Structure 1
């Protein structure tokens, strides 16, 4: 199992951060410039990333003010889970963590680990930037 993660403290209450992350429509704002052909509902998102395949994800589980778990909504070459976790840091701050868990063979890991880490880093950075405006 390959685990790729990053976290950030967002100066907003946990309910606000969770509310943003629980709606797939908001995730377009977290995507890097290389993402295009975005389509979403509250529970699903479909998009492509330059030099990568088209991706379709869905919400598998929501634990209010705690966690949102996403998985593929179409067949993919390897099992993958995206997990946003939020933890209160006092009344007005939240620790937000994005964890990607993927079943990658050695070859896929060599190809995918760096772009996945870049995606995770970009998303946590943009979350802080957007919510602290």
Structure 2
């Protein structure tokens, strides 16, 4: 299952936004309002949203200034969340989130809507920084 957000303009340079996301504590600012838990542990963080199980994301890949890939810490659910960052100007950049998950059709049908809403919220909150 592949999901993506619309591209969103961020009022930070590409380098600033990349470095902002490298500090996993900053992801708490991007989380939806219904966030019930957020804890950083080294190169991973765990978060919980009302009505959903807790999820731990681990930094899998960093491509300096233009890409960060987060992935599931558990082998039970195989998915990744890629943050692409492109320069627009000296003080602004553009970001887009890509979600890739390997789920059975029934699971995909159940999680597609909530996941799309979740990644859209992350992008919208990033544009408000």
Shorter-chain TM-score tier: over 0.9
Q: Which residue of 1 aligns with 2:112?
A: 113
Cα displacement (A) at 1:5: 1.1
3-state SS of 1:36 partner: strand
3-state SS of 1:70 partner: strand
Q: Which residue of 2 aligns with 1:52?
A: 52
Cα displacement (A) at 1:47: 1.5
CA distance, structure 1, for counterparts of residue 30 and residue 54 of structure 2: 17
Q: TM-score, normalised by structure 1?
A: 0.90
What per-residue deviation string (whole Å, max 9, x for no partner) do you get for residues 13-62 of structure 1?
10111111122110011111222121014521012111111111110111
Cα displacement (A) at 1:114: 0.2
Matches within 5 A, 1:95-114: 95-114=94-113
Q: Which residue of 1 aligns with 2:121?
A: 122
Q: Which residue of 2 aligns with 1:67?
A: 67
Gaps of 5+ in 1: none
The answer to whether the Cα contact below 8 Å between 1:56 and 1:73 also exists between their aligned partners in 2 is: yes
3-state SS of 1:91 partner: coil
Cα displacement (A) at 1:65: 0.4
Q: Which residue of 2 aligns with 1:94?
A: 93
Q: TM-score, normalised by structure 2?
A: 0.92
What per-residue deviation string (whole Å, max 9, x for no partner) do you get for residues 63-117 of structure 1?
11011111112343x3100111101012222111111101122111110000000
Q: Which residue of 2 aligns with 1:21?
A: 21
Q: Which residue of 2 aligns with 1:79?
A: 78
CA distance, structure 2, for counterparts of residue 42 and residue 86 of structure 1: 23
3-state SS of 1:74 partner: coil
Deviating runs (4+, > 3 A) in structure 1?
A: none
